Chain A
């Protein structure tokens, strides 16, 4: 098993190291995430003034927003930059020359990228929003701890699934990139991703009739499900449904990705020279 996983683990380690070199970007990322979080918190606080009973109370929504900022890098923003370069230079056929399963290599790279990026950024956002903010006049806007041990444990499980789900999305983006053979495709579905993952507005604040659909669509697992579990807005049977939704979509997307990649790679022409 360990030798089997070795190439993927190496990919993970090198990626992580590479990323740490972008020091300015790392600090700037944290500051940016915190700032945007603050704006969104303030906006929602303003909306909550003088309002009645809501599906999530204000402290829950505020914590939800901070979680969104902390785990922002977890979202499948764009396909793998290396693959974009390979597509531009026409060298993507060489991916087949590596003696490993191409899909899982891409998947491992995506996972490394997401996890490394998140690991680097989530901590500082937590320190700022959960530890420092309570010491200021804006203590009401702080990131609160989970409601209980069960919520915390379920959150860890759910955010792990989020990493796996997001990598499956990234792998799909890579494949689309290779399929349309144009390097300049970001995540063209980022608008949907943002809205339906709950990052624009927590999904619980959408109209009541839309809720069942929202829980079972693939983007909810990228943010909304783990965040609602954390804040206690999703508990018991609905929390289990949330986790099930994540697992289901991971399986579906990985299967789809593997099938599609096999087809795409089979039709690639290597550019001679």
Chain B
């Protein structure tokens, strides 16, 4: 059985154990939808009062909001296992069990837990996308659609890598690492608006250091026909940084597992 098929087996199990408590499952699923939609409603409240933000209107921001939410939802759905692995696996020594199986440890963690909240986020992204499309009435070519998908893929890969690095850190801390949220959840929150509304240092941080903007700002602005100062070819290539980051994260993961096997629990 190949890795992907095994991954789906794992996810199936995780979802089924959720379903063992149907009341809680439905309650949480429902609340996830409400929570995430409410957050988007918050953006609407601001535009209702202020009309626009540095030249961007609600519909345009909704498109940024949609790509960031969808990219993060995908990454979150795949990476929740890394979130809780500090207290659940490292601290308790249950990571041993992962190592006792003849499969890639990263793959096993990826499939360990399915995050219900990612369904809610995906729904929020979908709502934002529908709102954006409904209001913009865009005349999008296939190339632009492709560019948006590519932007989402790069963003998802980047967020996934960040989550994985968070997991690596927990080999040392054995705790959940709230500070990593600054880049993951914080990154998503920042990318929900076009980066040029922020202070310059912050924009540069998100373009060059943790290149969330390369996937979720430059290409989306290009689709909207907004000048960011970056040439179009660069905006098209930029999401590749998300995949480069994934390579770094995998190397880092091997290093972390090496640390675990030399200290035990």
* A22 CA to B178 CA, complexed, in Å: 11
A49 at the A/B interface (Cβ < 8 Å)?
yes
CB distance from A29 to the nearest CB of B (A): 5
Interchain CB contact under 8 A, A35 and B24: no
Interface residues of A in 113-170 (CB under 8 A from B): 138
Asked, given contacts A186-B28, A200-B38, whether A25 binds B178 with beta carbons under 8 Å apart, the answer is yes
> Which residues between 189 and 230 of chain B lie within 8 Å of chain A, taking CB atoms?
189-190, 193, 197-199, 202
Q: A24-B173, A28-B179, A39-B190 are in contact. Are A47 and B46 (CB under 8 A)?
A: yes
Give CA–CA (A114, B26) in the complex, Å.
28
Per-position 1/0 for B24-38, Cβ under 8 A of A: 110110110011111
Q: How far is the CA of A25 from the CA of B189 in the complex (A)?
A: 21
A96 at the interface (CB under 8 A from B): no
0/1 interface trace, chain A 167-185, chain B, CB 8 Å (1 if under): 0000000000000111111
By a CB distance below 8 angstroms, the chain A residues around B181 are: 32
CA distance A48 to B49 in the complex (A): 10
A200 to B36, CA, bound (A): 12
**At the interface, yes or no: A194 with Cβ under 8 Å from chain B?**
yes
B35 touches A191 (CB 8 A): yes
Is A259 part of the binding interface, using a Cβ–Cβ cutoff of 8 Å? no
How many A-B pairs have beta carbons closer than 8 Å: the answer is: 108
Contacts A35-B186, A39-B186, A184-B28; A191 near B36 (Cβ below 8 A): yes
Per-residue interface assignment for chain B, residues 121 to 148, with 1 indicating a CB less than 8 Å from any chain A CB and 0 otherwise: 0000000000000000000000000000
- A213: Cβ under 8 A from any B Cβ: no
Which of A12-20, A62-70, A201-209, A232-240 sits within the interface? Answer: A201-209
Rounded to whole angstroms, the CA-CA distance of A206 and B38 in the bound complex is 13
Closest partner residue, chain A, to B22 (CB atom)? A182
A189 part of interface (Cβ distance < 8 Å): yes
Kindly identify, within residues 26 to 65 of chain A, every residue whose CB is under 8 Å from any CB belonging to chain B: 27-29, 31-32, 35-36, 38-40, 42-43, 46-49, 51, 54
**Chain A positions within 8 Å of B41 at CB level:** 195
Of A22, A32, A43, the residue contacting B179 (CB under 8 A) is A32
Give the docked Cα–Cα distance between A36 and B185 (Å).
9
A180 and B23 within 8 A (CB): yes
Closest B residue to A196 using CB positions: B38
Most A Cβ at <10 Å: residue of B28, B53, B178, B186: B178
Separation in Å of the A49 CB from the closest CB of chain B?
A: 6
* B160 → A minimal CB distance (Å): 20
Chain B 42-63 interface residues, beta-carbon cutoff 8 Å to A:
42, 45-46, 48-50, 53-54
Whole-angstrom distance between the Cβ of A134 and the nearest chain B Cβ: 16
Known: A35-B186, A180-B27, A194-B39. 14 other contacts (CB 8 A): A25-B176, A32-B178, A36-B189, A42-B199, A43-B53, A54-B49, A182-B23, A184-B25, A185-B28, A191-B31, A191-B39, A192-B34, A195-B38, A200-B42
* Chain B residues within 8 Å of A, Cβ to Cβ: 18, 21, 23-25, 27-28, 30-31, 34-39, 41-42, 45-46, 48-50, 53-54, 173, 175-179, 181-182, 185-186, 189-190, 193, 197-199, 202
